[in-house]
Amino acid sequence: MKLKLKKVFTNWKVILLLIFLVLAIFSMRPQILGNDGVTIRSVAQNSSAANAGIENPSAKVVPVAKEKIISINGKKIIDLVDYYAELNQLAVNRSVRIETNRDIYNIRTTQEANLGLTVYNAPTSNIRKGLDLEGGTRVLLKPEEKISDEDLELTIDNLKERLNVYGLSDIVIRAASDLRGDKFILIEIAGVTEDEVKELLSKQGKFEAKIGNETVFYGGKNDITYVCRSADCSGINPNVGCSGSDGGYACQFFFAITLSPAAAERQADLTRNLKVLTEENEGYLSDDIVLLLDDIEVDRLRIGASLKGRATTDIQISGSGVGRTQEEAVTDSLQNMKKLQTVIITGSLPVKLEVVKMDTISPSLGKEFLNNVLLVGLLVILSVVTVVVARYRKIKVVVPMILTLLSEIVLILGFAALVGWNLDLAAIAGIIIVVGTGVDHLIIITDETLMGELIYDWKKKIKNAMFIVIGAYLTTMAGMLPLLWAGAGLLKGFALTTIAGISFGVLIARPAFAAVIEILLKE
């Protein structure tokens, strides 16, 4: 027996399976040592937390690595209950010391019991839970007229920009299309109520530039006919460049825009009566031009003195970015530039969007679902074990079968964590299905090797079994592929988990099982 076990673990198919399993567990990074703390989901702009330097988390960071609060004023924070208990005690204009896994921040409160942070219990692994399990809002938008792919991308950028303005960064916005070629935009925001999303979407996306409370121009093609994005008229300002010292660097960016004649006239009217101030050998006008998105100020720029009273259609917009090194400063500048360009180009959305589907799931219900699904998963595995034990009654068969099934589940979950999929109910249904077909194929493989005709050639037996398995695999794939696009990809999660699951199964887990069976049962 010992000899057989040694053979099992030195077989290349088994080793391959084990390598993938390790990779899967690594990408999931289950927090077995405890997940104390509350993770920051978003930081509201101009809030006391933002002013203290806490950054809005980037969507690209994996859940386990996101910044989380571990203590407030020295008191350890384990979960949301602790957090809110501490938060509710905070009065206005107090100093609060917040320690996260990255840094320590000293915040001066500007409101009672509100730091401008939304938080959630620190995740136990890198698996991202979809809306159905976490609660949140999902909206499917359809442009009211046909638009090009480029315009669709612009709309998506604009929506992202606006959502970031509101401090929401844990969001998924993507383009989707269905089999008919219709285009959609899918927005999924976790942990946010329906009201907040409706408020966001009902706004037209008003962009304005004002000088001294009068509007100079609005965003969109009417007032701004061209925004330069190419290297010859945008980028880091070659005349000013970057400057700085060991304390920090700053760079200046610029990009050219062209106003419509009407907008140029308005600008001339509004600047005619302004005074000129001179600062560091440059002349600026006494009022700034303020850029507003949905009535919230996004930027404020000085107006060059040469523009006073002149109706010029060609204008240069400049701004700056900072960083600790020159490289950081350059990156920051270019990012600010892109942000500004997006806001100006698409000041109002290029096309009106219609809400064709909206789902709101409350977080408490989401958690209930998750617990229920885990329970059902366990019961399903138990029922499969029962039938298999009743039929085969051989430990050498039953144990490898159960281990193979469990491996398949681990592989799918690891893959989902790696790729950053959100697991929703449909995806979980997909996992249940994969376990179902997994069992079927393992039974086929087992029976081919145990029964059948008197072939002593094991290679041939396994080959026969895999013939059937692969045939079934290809047909199921054929069934799942159209689902990737059908109906604006609403069942995409289901199709993807099923395709990934059966592929991992057929290519890695089940051949390993066949090898193990061969070694253990060969006399």
Partner 1 sequence: MKSKIKSIYEHKYKSLLFIPFVVLILAFVQIGTQYSVTGDFVNKGISLKGGSTITIDYDAKINLDELESFLSNQFPLADFSIRTISSAGRTTSIAIDSDAQENDEIDILLGVIKEHTKLNDDAYTVETMGSSLGDSFFKQTAIALLIAFFLMGIVVLIYFRTIVPSMAVILAAFSDIVVTLAIFNLTGIKLSTAGIAAFLMLIGYSVDTDILLSTRLLKRKGEIMSKVYGAMKTGLTMSTTTLSAVFVALIFVQSDVIKQIMIILFIGLLVDILMTWIQNVGILRLYLEKKKR
Q: Restricting to residues 50-109, which ones interact with partner 1 according to CB under 8 A?
A: none
Q: Are 229 and 253 in contact (CB under 8 A)?
A: no
Give per-residue burial for 420-433: e unless 16+ CB within 10 Å, then b.
ebbbbbbbbbbbbb
Tokens of 84: 């809110």
Contact region with partner 1 (CB under 8 A), list: 74-82, 268-276, 342-350, 422-430: 422-430
Contact region with partner 1 (CB under 8 A), list: 158-166, 238-246, 274-282, 471-479: 471-479
Q: Which is nearer to partner 1, 108 or 460 (CB)?
A: 460
Which residues, other chains included, contact 120 with Cβ-Cβ below 8 Å and sequence gap of 6+? 38, 39, 41, 80, 191
> Whose CA is closest to 159, among 171, 176, 144?
171
Residue 396 interacts with partner 1 (CB under 8 A): yes or no: no
Rounded to 10 degrees, what is the CA torsion of 84, 85, 87, 91? 150
Q: Which is nearer to partner 1, 87 or 139 (CB)?
A: 139
CB of 256 to partner 1, least distance (A): 41
Q: Which of 263, 483, 506, 509 binds partner 1 (CB under 8 A)?
A: 483
Q: Which of 45, 338, 487, 521 binds partner 1 (CB under 8 A)?
A: 487
Which residues, other chains included, contact 377 with Cβ-Cβ below 8 Å and sequence gap of 6+? 431, 432
Can you state the percent helix, strand and coil of the chain, rounding each to 5?
A: 45, 25, 30
Q: Which of 21, 185, 353, 373 binds partner 1 (CB under 8 A)?
A: 373
Q: Which of 151, 182, 269, 328 binds partner 1 (CB under 8 A)?
A: 182
Tokens of 39: 């993770």
CB of 121 to partner 1, least distance (A): 17
Q: Which is nearer to partner 1, 16 or 468 (CB)?
A: 468
Q: Which of 120, 369, 421, 513 binds partner 1 (CB under 8 A)?
A: 369
CB of 79 to partner 1, least distance (A): 19
| Dist CA 119 CA 79 (whole Å) | 10
Q: Which is nearer to partner 1, 276 or 450 (CB)?
A: 450
Contact region with partner 1 (CB under 8 A), list: 23-31, 221-229, 232-240, 479-487: 479-487
Q: Are 141 and 356 in contact (CB under 8 A)?
A: yes
Contact region with partner 1 (CB under 8 A), list: 75-83, 161-169, 175-183, 514-522: 175-183
Q: Which is nearer to partner 1, 42 or 449 (CB)?
A: 449
In the three-class reduction of DSSP (H, G, I as helix; E, B as strand; rest coil), residue 377 is classed as helix
Q: Which of 5, 59, 379, 399 binds partner 1 (CB under 8 A)?
A: 379
| Dist CA 284 CA 275 (whole Å) | 8
In the three-class reduction of DSSP (H, G, I as helix; E, B as strand; rest coil), residue 130 is classed as coil
Stretch 427-456 residues interacting with partner 1 (CB under 8 A): 428-429, 432-433, 435-437, 439-441, 443-444, 447, 451-453
Stretch 327-366 residues interacting with partner 1 (CB under 8 A): 354-365
CB of 88 to partner 1, least distance (A): 19
Cβ-based neighbour number of residue 445 at 10 Å: 25
| Dist CA 516 CA 407 (whole Å) | 14
Q: Are 95 and 106 in contact (CB under 8 A)?
A: yes
Residue 474 interacts with partner 1 (CB under 8 A): yes or no: yes
Q: Which is nearer to partner 1, 298 or 470 (CB)?
A: 470
CB of 421 to partner 1, least distance (A): 17
Residues in the chain, total: 523
# residues contacting partner 1 (CB under 8 A): 76
Q: Which of 193, 215, 316, 320 binds partner 1 (CB under 8 A)?
A: 193
Please give the full DSSP string across 315-353, using - where no structure is assigned. EEEEEEEEESSHHHHHHHHHHHHHHHHHHHHTSS-SS-E
Q: Are 228 and 312 in contact (CB under 8 A)?
A: no
> What would the x/- binding string for partner 1 be over residues 119 to 158, using CB under 8 A?
-------------x-------x-x----------------
| Dist CA 178 CA 400 (whole Å) | 41
CB of 70 to partner 1, least distance (A): 28
In the three-class reduction of DSSP (H, G, I as helix; E, B as strand; rest coil), residue 455 is classed as coil
| Dist CA 120 CA 129 (whole Å) | 13
Measured CA to CA in angstroms, residue 336 lies from 95, 298, 347 at distances of 31, 11, 16
Tokens of 130: 């979809």
Q: Which is nearer to partner 1, 17 or 388 (CB)?
A: 388
Residue 478 interacts with partner 1 (CB under 8 A): yes or no: yes
CB of 410 to partner 1, least distance (A): 18
Q: Which is nearer to partner 1, 241 or 479 (CB)?
A: 479
Q: Which is nearer to partner 1, 418 or 490 (CB)?
A: 490
Q: Which is nearer to partner 1, 346 or 407 (CB)?
A: 407
Cβ-based neighbour number of residue 314 at 10 Å: 12
For tokens 């501490």, name the residue: 86
Stretch 194-253 residues interacting with partner 1 (CB under 8 A): 194, 198
